[in-house]
Structure 1
């Protein structure tokens, strides 16, 4: 996968050399070549490529894509879950798999008691759960993540963990994440 903070593309490498990685145009979602100048038309088809570097001169239009540094990464499978931890509470865990085999399961944040994900389908005005998405995963434009946090026993005293009513303090945090390849960033 090649990506910047603004854009990403998954491609199949056909040749990896010390100074170049070549890919098969049309493989996966890399339908056009990578380039640094968005003003050039490729293959006479009226299409432009993915721009992953900032233009070197002010008269080159890169459509504000590629302002950040580009990175090449090998995609891996990551799953997130809430599970019991060694302190008697719950934590957020991240499991990484490579070639179908789990290679790590790391505790990311203690005190995360619940995680809810909802999805915004293209053209919709409200988020829905995974069951309502069914076979429409290719039309998901955004994800809403909601985490419920509670303090754990350990370094904190009972007074630090419980509110004035004697109940464990609970906080909910949320974030909405836009899926950048689904947004029309080219205007």
Structure 2
């Protein structure tokens, strides 16, 4: 008898998976998600770079405004009184920035050259530190540092007694003042540690005495009549006028602000200080030049005179001694620095820039805005 055994049924597991079309669709969706995420990242990076550039521009302009304002507020300042008349005891020299020192401030339009021929003084040129044509400039005159007290000048001689000479050097340009008068003169010698001499002759001084009624018309001879500074002393009979109040002497100088070429092929805001520190009778020595803010493309300065209600360009100023306020406009563009050229551009592909305006009142002018 044959026995039939039932064979076990063998089942194969059904293998499930994605078809090629499904894989392609999934890959496409993944690419779209990655592209969207990348686009958001790039957009955020552009926004960050633009914000960073704008912040740098605004910070640069703020620094420029702050430093310029400090100088402008002190225009015409001296250790005594800004309201006292300034009398220049010096004859006109070569690049005589000091000739109009009593005005305190003077502006130059984009077509006006500034006095002086030394690079960095604000003269037009293409070299590093030279002024860019078509941009305004401003010159501010004031005393440099604090004053040194006058002890005695009881007769109109060529020697002023002081407490000390400080850092004053021979041939420096100084101002001597009290509450009534201020005189600009050149140092001719330092006879002792507490004396300052201001002779005429080989110097730029037109006379050795301080002439306040008819400046630079005297003979310059010793003992000629002139103004005397006599704090606590008795004036001699040769004093044509005198002041008993406190008197001081101080070095004077000129500060110039302008847009110049920088060493990186762009433009920057520059500050130059001019004073006489080299024992020369042509007091136009360039003392210091600083590149203050990079990226300043243009500087526009307008001026308000006492009694007026509109700001005018330099050509419209009738009397620089009556300027009571200054309006500054700075145009600045983004600079690369830590960013690349493309990172300082806006959505239109142009370099980001800003224009801001700031108004400064001259502290040493009596007029009130």
Residue matched to 2:262: 85
Preserved CA contact (<8 Å) 1:117 1:129: yes
> Is residue 2:294 matched to residue 1:110?
yes
Q: 2:314 aligns with which of 113, 125, 130?
A: 130
User: What pairs with 1:44-123 in structure 2 (closer than 5 Å)?
Assistant: 74-99=251-276, 100-123=284-307
Answering whether residue 288 of structure 2 is matched by residue 143 of structure 1, we say no
Query: How many angstroms does 1:8 deviate by?
Result: 5.4
Matched, 1:28 2:211: no
SS in 1 for 2:355: strand
* Unaligned 5+ runs, structure 2: 1-77, 84-142, 151-159, 165-175, 184-228, 230-244, 277-283
Distance in 1 between residues matched to 2:180 and 2:291, nearest whole Å:
39
Q: Distance in 2 between matches of 1:86 and 1:153?
A: 14
**1:17 is aligned to 2:163:** yes
Sort the Cα spacing of 1:97 and 1:183 in 2 relative to 1 into closer, same or farther, 3 A.
same
2:340 to 142, 145, 157: 157
2:360 to 172, 177, 187: 177
Unaligned runs of 5+ in 1: 34-48, 51-71
- Pick from 62, 76, 79 the counterpart of residue 2 of structure 1: 79
Deviation at 1:130, TM superposition (A): 0.1
CA distance in 2, matches of 1:73, 1:174: 33
**Secondary structure of 2:251's match?**
coil
Cα–Cα, structure 1 residues 174 and 75, in superposed 2: closer, same or farther, change >3 Å? farther
Question: How far has the Cα of 1:88 moved from its partner?
Answer: 1.4
TM-score by length of structure 1 reads 0.62
TM-score (norm 2): 0.33
- 1:15·1:23 contact (CA, 8 Å) conserved in 2? no
Shift in alpha-carbon separation, 1:129–1:114, aligned structure 2, 3 A: same
1:31-53 residue CA offsets vs partner (Å, 9 max, x unmatched): xx9xxxxxxxxxxxxxxx89xxx
- Is the alpha carbon distance of 1:175 and 1:16 closer, same or farther for their aligned partners in structure 2, counting shifts above 3 Å? farther
Q: Deviations over 1:103-153 (max 9, x none)?
A: 2221111111111100011111111000001x4111111000111111123
RMSD: 3.1
Q: Which has the higher strand share?
A: 1
Q: How far did residue 184 of structure 1 move?
A: 4.6
Distance 1:116 1:23, change over 3 A: closer
Cα 1:159–1:183 change in 2 (3 A) is: farther
> How far apart are 1:173 and its partner, in Å?
2.0
Q: Kindly tell me the number of residue pairs found equivalent between the two proteins.
A: 139
